[in-house]
Structure 1
Amino acid sequence: MAKRFHYLLLSAVLGFAAVAQAADEVKLLRARSVISSKYGFVHQNATFDVKVRNLGYDKQVVLHYREPDGAWQQTKLRYSHPTGPDSEVWLGHVARLDQRNGQPMSPASLEFSISYQVNGVEFRDDNHSRNYRIDSNEGELLFDRVVYNSGYGPVLTNFYGNTLYGNVVLKNIAPEKSVQVVYSVDNWQTVKLANANYSPYFWTGWYSWLPNPSPAGFEVWNYELDIGDANRVDYAIRYGVAGQEYWDNNGGRNYRVEIMR
């Protein structure tokens, strides 16, 4: 134990990060990969949601992914919002575009892992040394979650109208289910309910099409919240299926959207 402590201390002093297998310090929550096609251009768009424990102010979260030729690339994730008492959600993005320049970047399945550097230590979520994989047009994947509020952002700018739109990703446990958004526009003095809606076909982005549920068995449901002229909305997601209730309430904090009109 003393040798390990001295190694970690020396690594921090010299500016190197000691690598440790993550327990709950960093964890992949969600991944999505979609292929779109318009005017002959093919575009693959992959997004990633990652949770990290807030162990220090100065931190870096990186997605490592393998190209079809075997070369490893990396891209930094950006901070999104706090979740739970001591954790944060960070977002990543990988885009592959066929530019018809003689060297097309064809859509490809992605092998990837996540690293989190803080306080001189690097934590890795590499799926227990197996890495993660997602097919080029696999759609939504959830990891250790049954329901997830997809595409959340804490602030909406240039907002018009009185309807807030959003998506829920859930594991298709049984055919009969209910998905609701419990929300408030007055700091929970009053509570409203909105039913989310399911469609067997899920369209997203640039002329893309996906079956719903996805090949891996995850569904996308859409919701619309009537918020009137409110400038803030608090909400959580309830998923009822097979006699059980599952919630995504942002780790107990609930979701909050500040609206800039």
Structure 2
Amino acid sequence: MKNVKKMIQLVSAMMLCCLLMANIFSTHANAAANIQAEPNVQLYYAQFSGPSRASYESYFGYVAVKNLGSDKNVVIHYTKDGQTWNDLAAVYVKADPNDPEYDIYSFNILTSPITFAIKYQVNGQTYWDNNDGNNYHMENPNLVVLGKSFVKTVTINNNPTIIYVKNLAYQKTVKIRYTTNNWNSYQDVDAKFYKAENENIDEWNIPQNIPTGTDVKYEVLYSVNGNTYIDNNFGDYYTNW
């Protein structure tokens, strides 16, 4: 009888051990499945820049390209009419000071409306950012499209005009952090909600009580869901003349 009890206890212990191991493996498997690799190419943002010298509406944007090799080809694949597609070579700007794995490329298209995707060729491989198969579309009065950038201060004629943020949750804060002494000290000022651009993007006003002058530099801090996203103009900061 004692042997039977011992056998039952042993079997129960083994079953419990198996269940625990299965749970551990399942947890690790789910965690691994939820970890997504950073894309090799992704739109930072694109924005309306106003009429060009040729009186065409113009859009410009910036692209994040993972530095997978020295010989890169970054192309904006776009159409004006949905029928004929054109290629425009994006231009290297600099390494991203906020994310050293990536380089920054820019583009400017003198037409509206446009639908586009981004192609990145390196080491014999081709990578795409086509907005999850939907492509990107820009048409007046849409002023901005946000990709990798969760917050962006839009400039018209080189003047900061309004702040756009991805609408990730209802509760959010947007602040301007500015300095007048090259970041030896700084002040934070709350931005004010203006309106919802659409269901995905909100507009916030730049505060009027920021000092002006050549010594003034600022960045934008967007806090939501326990995270803070920063727009510091790719490390160059914004000025308030």
TM-score, with normalisation over the residues of structure 2? 0.62
Does the alignment pair 1:148 with 2:161?
no
In structure 2, what is the equivalent of residue 256 of structure 1? 236
Query: Counterpart of 1:44 in structure 2: which amino acid?
Result: E
1:97-246 mapped onto 2 (5 Å cutoff): 107-108=112-113, 110-143=114-147, 145-151=149-155, 165=160, 167-172=162-167, 177-199=172-194, 212-223=195-206, 225-226=210-211, 228-230=213-215, 233=217, 235-240=218-223, 244-246=226-228
Contact 1:149 1:248 in 2 (8 A): no
Contact 2:75 2:88 in 1 (8 A): yes
**Higher helix content, 1 or 2:** 2
Tell me the CA shift for residue 168 of structure 1. 2.3
Could you list the per-position Cα deviations for residues 122-167 of structure 1 after superposition, in whole angstroms to 9, with x for gaps in the alignment? 3221234443333443232223553234459xxx9xxxxxxx8464
Query: Counterpart of 1:45 in structure 2: which amino acid?
Result: S
Could you list the per-position Cα deviations for residues 99-124 of structure 1 after superposition, in whole angstroms to 9, with x for gaps in the alignment? xxxxxxxx53x321101223343322
Query: Counterpart of 2:151 in structure 1: which amino acid?
Result: V
Distance 1:43 1:137, change over 3 A: farther
Distance 1:85 1:34, change over 3 A: closer
Distance 1:257 1:35 in 2: 22
TM-score, with normalisation over the residues of structure 1? 0.58
**Higher strand content, 1 or 2:** 1
Distance 1:135 1:165 in 2: 20
Distance 2:76 2:60 in 1: 10
Distance 1:140 1:257, change over 3 A: closer
Does the alignment pair 1:247 with 2:229?
yes
More relative contact order, 1 or 2 (CA 8 Å, 6+ apart) = 1
Does the alignment pair 1:28 with 2:8?
no
Tell me the CA shift for residue 63 of structure 1. 0.6
Distance 1:35 1:185 in 2: 30
Distance 2:165 2:238 in 1: 25
In structure 2, what is the equivalent of residue 88 of structure 1? 103
Distance 1:229 1:42, change over 3 A: closer
Distance 1:32 1:120 in 2: 31
Query: Counterpart of 1:31 in structure 2: which amino acid?
Result: A
User: How many positions carry a matched residue from both structures?
Assistant: 198
Match of 1:60 among 45, 62, 73: 73
Distance 2:73 2:85 in 1: 18
* Structure number with bigger Rg: 2
Distance 1:23 1:258 in 2: 27
